[in-house]
Structure 1
Amino acid sequence: MASPNKAKPDRAGASDSASKDWRHTALDARPGFLIRRLHQIHVALFVEECAPEGITPVQYSILTALEQIGPSEQIALSRAVGLDRANTADVIGRLVERRFIHRRVSKTDKRKKVAELTEIGRALLARLETGVARAHERTLAALPPEDRKRFMTFLTLLVETNNDLSRTPVGGAAKKSDDD
């Protein structure tokens, strides 16, 4: 997430300086089109590399968030991975069915549900490690090694700068449950 000290570009000024006629620009020369295509390609690589486990990138994000932040309320997970609450609950439900996570009612607030990674989920993450690394490496493989870090820096800058414009912004650090 963008730090509060980082200067954000002036949105009004951005439209003045970007007066390019995008409608007459070839699809494959538009940033939105290229970003969407790169996402589709990365998902395909991820699915290919992780096919034996039948896990999706979104499911992997939820599992990884739980591994990193520990038992968490569903809303905190939603914010951590930039996924709306309904979809987060749906993904969590599928992960519960496969016994990768356990879901329980919060001990401090019966209206809240807490998700927690199970040992089966931890074992899955260990098995996925090599395949996920290969998917990431394959996504960046066309770039010369010296440009990969710069690409990631620019990608991070674009995402952090525009995070608040998303329908599901990634908000602050996800908080662990109070009743762990």
Structure 2
Amino acid sequence: MATEDLYQRPGFLLRRAHQISAAIFERACSELALTPAQYGVLRVMQDHPGIDQSSLARALAFDKVTVLRVIKGLQERGLCQRALSADNRRQMAVRLTPQGTELLRQARLPVQKAYETLLSPFDEAQRQQFMGLLSLLNAQLDGEARASFVPMGSGSMGA
């Protein structure tokens, strides 16, 4: 396979798009020292206070080791806290601290800016098509992933 062929493979293009997406996000949120993974974890905690770590991992399609590493980093910064779950004493529940809530408030505009920058090459119809195709790919091939993805419904705490 010629190198030029490699550059047109879906896996290469998706990986490169992810690199670009992460760089745009991290640049927009640099003053907050916030990564995409940290933002995702904080957002799920905000919407589902007291969620257990396993459900949190599934809600973001992270493996348990990754989500634990992110949570510990956020905890060291005083943005969240962990405690034994009231529902299951074998699980840890996580919730935002007031500092975590404030960081999310500060992140609103930079996160929106990153979103707009990432989709800026597309007009509105292309944005909808692009997002639809990405959603279709993820839905149809979800079983191929290493980490489970269980989206959180509004008000749901997960299993």
Q: Does 1:137 align with 2:116?
A: yes
Listed as ranges, the gaps of 5+ residues in structure 2 are none
**Deviation of 1:72 (Å):** 0.4
Query: Using the alignment, how far apart are the partners of 2:23 and 2:120 within structure 1?
Result: 15
Aligned mate of 1:119, from 72, 77, 98: 98
**SS of equivalent to 1:103:** strand
Q: 1:69 touches 1:176 (CA, 8 Å); kept in 2?
A: yes
Corresponding residue number in structure 2 for 1:51: 30
Instruction: Mark the CA change 1:107 to 1:68 in structure 2 (over 3 Å): closer, same or farther.
Output: closer
Distance across 2 between alignment mates of 1:118 and 1:84: 24
Q: 1:158 aligns with which of 133, 137, 146?
A: 137
Shift of residue 97, structure 1, vs aligned partner: 0.8
In structure 1, list runs of 5 or more residues that go unmatched. 1-22
Counterpart residue type for residue 83 of structure 2: R
SS of residue matched to 1:29: coil
- Distance in 2, matches of 1:148 and 1:85, equals 32
What is the identity, as a one-letter code, of the residue corresponding to 1:140?
L
CA RMSD of aligned residues (A): 1.8
Query: Per-residue CA shift, 1:14-73, capped at 9, x if unaligned?
Result: xxxxxxxxx456222111111100000010000100000111111111011111222200
Q: TM-score normalized by structure 1?
A: 0.81
Query: Is residue 105 from structure 1 mapped to residue 84 from structure 2 by the alignment?
Result: yes
Q: Report which of the two structures shows the higher radius of gyration computed on alpha carbons.
A: 1
Please, which moves more after superposition, 142-151 or 123-132? 142-151
- Please state whether the residue corresponding to 1:121 is helix, strand or coil: helix
TM-score (norm 2): 0.91
1:30 counterpart = 2:6? no
State the distance in 1 between where 2:152 and 2:115 align: 24
User: Does residue 18 of structure 2 align to residue 39 of structure 1?
Assistant: yes
Deviation at 1:172, TM superposition (A): 4.7
